[in-house]
Amino acid sequence: MNEPAVVLDGVSVTYGRHEALRNVTAELPTGAIGLLGPNGAGKSTLIKALLGLLPPSSGRMRVLGYDVRESPLAIRARVGYMPESDAHMRGMTAVSFVAYCGELAGLPSSNAMQRAHEVLFYVGLGEARYRNVETYSTGMKQRIKLAQALVHDPDLLFLDEPTNGMDPKGRDEMLALVRDIATMKAITLILSSHLLPDVEFACDHVLVLNRGAVAAQGPIATLKGTSGRVFELRVKGGNASFLDAIRAEGLGCDGETTGVLRVYVPEQRPTQALFQIAAQHGVQVRHLRASVPSLEDVFARALGEPLDAARGKEV
């Protein structure tokens, strides 16, 4: 199926006097797409508009082949939404809540109950599914939001900050689930998050919004572009004479204060030279990698911000 999952054509959405989306034209293919942008860029407005909850002042939108203006209910029956903020219903256990959501999406009640159990196991809440949702921890609340979005087996899933408030282990598990959903279960994902490494891990496409307009869109790999001959280098036992020796060889070097050196190696010189200098000075090379622009650089470039020359990231 090569038809794009979402098509936006000149979409504008106005909130009172504020233009939240301005003439947005984009095509989101099937797969996993990251939705990025500063606060107030229009990400949640976009999601609401695609769910048919906000009528646009101009433009057309198609989701999964349906026109949003004509068939919003048909779309919502095939789309799952995992909201950012806490959302549950008073006094219900996990199974009954998820089953109810399934019924609201059109499933007959017995099927909804079966699906609820299955989906709760899938998201890792199997043991706790008979407990009242109000007693859940943050991580569990995130999972149940995912469960209610999956219960009706959607073709498209909107995830808004899925790892919000979760501890590192929970984040890993959630991201693994997200990745599994996107790759193995053939469900298209639109992931909105401020955590770029999460997006980089789970998605292959991004759409960057800024002030209501599209700032960049496309496959992550294409947007990143090719790297130059800059290497990240971390050593053990390095000292001033080692750095002098590197510079003496005509290889530029900076970042000594951060623990990760950035070495500029001209095209003709092989990396062997670095190792030789290290061996000569009794220094162990512990990390050597060609520096690749990160998704953060793509984001910064898209927003017209200056790139951070000395990133100072300790790896």
User: Binders of another protein among 154-213, rule CB under 8 A?
Assistant: 165-173, 176-177, 180, 184-185, 194-197
CA 263 to the chain's CA centroid = 30
Decide if residue 70 touches another protein (CB under 8 A). Answer: no
Decide if residue 87 touches another protein (CB under 8 A). Answer: yes
Spatial CA neighbour of 56 closest among 27, 94, 14, 86: 14
Let me know: does 77 contact 104? Beta carbons within 8 Å: no
d(CA 9, CA 296): 27
Closer residue to another protein, CB minimum distance, 24 or 260:
260
Q: What angle do CA 195, 1, 119 make, to 5 degrees?
A: 55
DSSP per residue, 71-97: -HHHHHHHEEEE-SS----TT-BHHHH
As given in the structure block, the two tokens for residue 253 are 């070097």
Decide if residue 280 touches another protein (CB under 8 A). Answer: yes
Among 4, 42, 59, 124, binds another protein (CB under 8 A): 124
Half-sphere exposure of 212 (CA within 13 A, CB side): 13
Closer residue to another protein, CB minimum distance, 7 or 119:
119
Decide if residue 85 touches another protein (CB under 8 A). Answer: yes
Among 118, 204, 249, 254, binds another protein (CB under 8 A): 118
Amino acid at 84: E
CB 23 → another protein: shortest distance, Å?
21
As given in the structure block, the two tokens for residue 250 are 């005509």
Among 107, 182, 191, 251, binds another protein (CB under 8 A): 107
Half-sphere exposure of 228 (CA within 13 A, CB side): 6
Decide if residue 238 touches another protein (CB under 8 A). Answer: no
Closer residue to another protein, CB minimum distance, 95 or 177:
177
Site residues for another protein, 3-62, by CB under 8 A, read 15, 36-40, 44, 47-48, 51, 53-54
Tell me the pairing of strands 6-15 and 18-28.
Answer: antiparallel
Decide if residue 153 touches another protein (CB under 8 A). Answer: yes
Decide if residue 293 touches another protein (CB under 8 A). Answer: no
Decide if residue 228 touches another protein (CB under 8 A). Answer: no
Closer residue to another protein, CB minimum distance, 222 or 306:
306
Decide if residue 248 touches another protein (CB under 8 A). Answer: no
CA 133 to the chain's CA centroid = 27
CB 17 → another protein: shortest distance, Å?
14
Among 148, 188, 192, 217, binds another protein (CB under 8 A): 148
Greatest pairwise CA separation for the chain in angstroms: 75
**Which long-range CB contacts under 8 A does 132-138 form with residues at least 24 apart?**
132/91, 132/92, 132/93, 133/88, 133/89, 133/92, 133/93, 133/94, 133/97, 134/88, 134/90, 134/91, 136/94, 138/164, 138/165, 138/166, 138/170
Could you tell me how many residues of this chain bind another protein (CB under 8 A)?
99
CB 296 → another protein: shortest distance, Å?
6
Decide if residue 1 touches another protein (CB under 8 A). Answer: no
Query: For residue 251, how many other CB atoms are within 10 A of its CB?
Result: 19
Among 60, 88, 131, 229, binds another protein (CB under 8 A): 88
- Scanning 22-30, 56-64, 108-116, 244-252 for contacts with another protein by CB under 8 A, the matching segment is 108-116
Decide if residue 111 touches another protein (CB under 8 A). Answer: yes
Decide if residue 230 touches another protein (CB under 8 A). Answer: no
CB 84 → another protein: shortest distance, Å?
8
